[in-house]
Amino acid sequence: MVLSIGVKELLEELKSIRRDLHRIPELGFEEYKTSQYIANYLQSLDVNYEAQVLKTGVIAYFKGKNPQRTYCFRADMDALGMEEQNDIQFKSIHSCKMHGCGHDGHMAILLGFAKFLSKHMERLNDNIVLLFQPAEEGPGGAEPILKEGFLKKYGVEEIYGLHLFPGIDEGKIGIRPGSMMSQNGEFDILVKGQSAHGAMPHIGVDSIIIVSEMVLGMQSIISRSINPISPAVLTIGRLEAGEKRNIIAKKGILEGTIRTFSQEEYDRIKNRMMDFKRGLEASYQCEIEMIFRDMYPTVYNDEILTEKFIVAQEKSAIEIIDPIMLAEDFAFYQKEIPGVFFFLGTKNEEKGFVHPLHNGQFNFDEKVLGDGLQSFINLLEYRGSLKI
């Protein structure tokens, strides 16, 4: 993407901001150092802002000269509970915490956007809200932001967000109108069997047998109960059972996730899982507890706004992607406010930036931060909200 002079001038600062934030990763609703860093930076720009939004969030506000609409641009703030494996000078200083999902880059882009706007207020026609949101990774900060009325307070009419993404080439914008990212939920299953000596299995109830049937059998829910042209995933990612080699396992634990693009299919999967549970309870005379946690809805890009966003960018930078089964709490905003979410590619095989999100070696070339900032500026200029 061709960068404007104003963005080029900010590249080194974007890099510095990202590295500062990368050193101090914090978990959801615990982003106190991060919040203070953001507030201090905005204060240095003499920008209007509100701190302690849900305790750690921050909102900056720019009033246009002749406002016709109010845009919101969002960056998530929280890190992951994992150990960083990168050998870099700006490595995380917090044990078992890492910005392994690119949120440090998202915040750097938005702070760079704040500086750009502060230097070009004479060009700004419409109102701009910059939302630094806590706890995207969990339990989710977007829904309480809405419930507390923060976006209504600022009169937000359109909302935009991005995510660094190593699945597409560096600097490319991955986007699609309509459903882009899946609805998701989590489930926990506890099988309560009966312990016995391994030599006398007939007097016990073997939870290992039961959880094994669940792992294999529940896959038939996707293959036989869901329309084959409707994307759906049921993944069991954790299984724990047994005490010793010669003891019939008293209990078994399964943990997993459900992902779909349809509420109807999502509900059908949960109902079929309950049917499967009842059948096993009857077959094995055991008790099975099944707990569901509905998480984020589908990321659904407003078709009209998405088309405008695409037209505003360089044609060569746009990559229309297939829907992806990842999930994002940005979806909550889109249920109430028309919005657009897109990926900013970071994949660079020559430099080794190929590791996936939520990986201890995830990293990227900070030059892509300029591309993210430029995409926001391009949108405002195309819409006439920022005079060219």
Strand order in the sheet with 70-76: 48-53, 57-62, 127-133, 70-76, 158-169, 339-347, 173-175, 318-320
pLDDT tens track for 23-34: 999 999 999 999
283 found inside a domain: yes
Catalytic, 76? Answer: yes
CATH number for the domain harbouring residue 254: 3.30.70.360
CATH number for the domain harbouring residue 92: 3.40.630.10
Same domain, 88 and 18: yes
Q: Has 358 been labeled as part of a binding site?
A: yes
Same domain, 29 and 80: yes
**Catalytic pick among 137, 158, 170, 206:** 137
CA distance 203 to 199: 10
Same domain, 118 and 146: yes
To the nearest 10 degrees (0 to 180), the angle between helices 103-119 and 32-44 is: 20
Element at 379 (helix H, strand E)? helix 368-382
67 found inside a domain: yes
Domain boundary among 239, 266, 294: 294
Q: What is the pLDDT of residue 37?
A: 98
pLDDT tops 90 at residue 123: yes
- Are the CB atoms for 337 and 81 separated by under 8 Å? no
pTM here is: 0.94
174 found inside a domain: yes
322 found inside a domain: yes
Same domain, 103 and 129: yes
387 found inside a domain: no
Same domain, 152 and 204: no
Domain boundary among 236, 270, 294: 294
Residue from 383, 387, 388 nearest 160 by CA: 383
Tally of structural domains, the chain? 2
> CA–CA distance from 218 to each of 45, 209, 236 (Å)?
55, 14, 9
- What is the distance of C-alpha 130 from the center of its chain? 17
Q: What is the pLDDT of residue 331?
A: 98
Q: Has 103 been labeled as part of a binding site?
A: yes
Same domain, 32 and 143: yes
- Are the CB atoms for 330 and 133 separated by under 8 Å? no
Catalytic, 188? Answer: no
Same domain, 121 and 218: no
Residues facing residue 132 across a β-bridge: 58, 75
Same domain, 170 and 287: no
pLDDT tops 90 at residue 12: yes
pLDDT tens track for 285-342: 999 999 999 999 999 999 999 999 999 999 999 999 999 999 999 999 999 999 999 9
pLDDT tens track for 149-163: 999 999 999 999 999
pLDDT tops 90 at residue 212: yes
Q: Has 355 been labeled as part of a binding site?
A: no
Written as one letter, the residue type at 245 is R
Q: What is the pLDDT of residue 145?
A: 98
Same domain, 41 and 171: yes
388 found inside a domain: no
Q: What is the pLDDT of residue 321?
A: 98
Residue 227's domain comprises 183-294
pLDDT tens track for 239-279: 999 999 999 999 999 999 999 999 999 999 999 999 999 99
Domain boundary among 252, 271, 294: 294
Same domain, 104 and 166: yes
**Catalytic pick among 31, 76, 78, 371:** 76
Q: Has 303 been labeled as part of a binding site?
A: no
Q: Are strands 70-76 and 127-133 parallel, antiparallel or unpaired?
A: parallel
Same domain, 129 and 157: yes
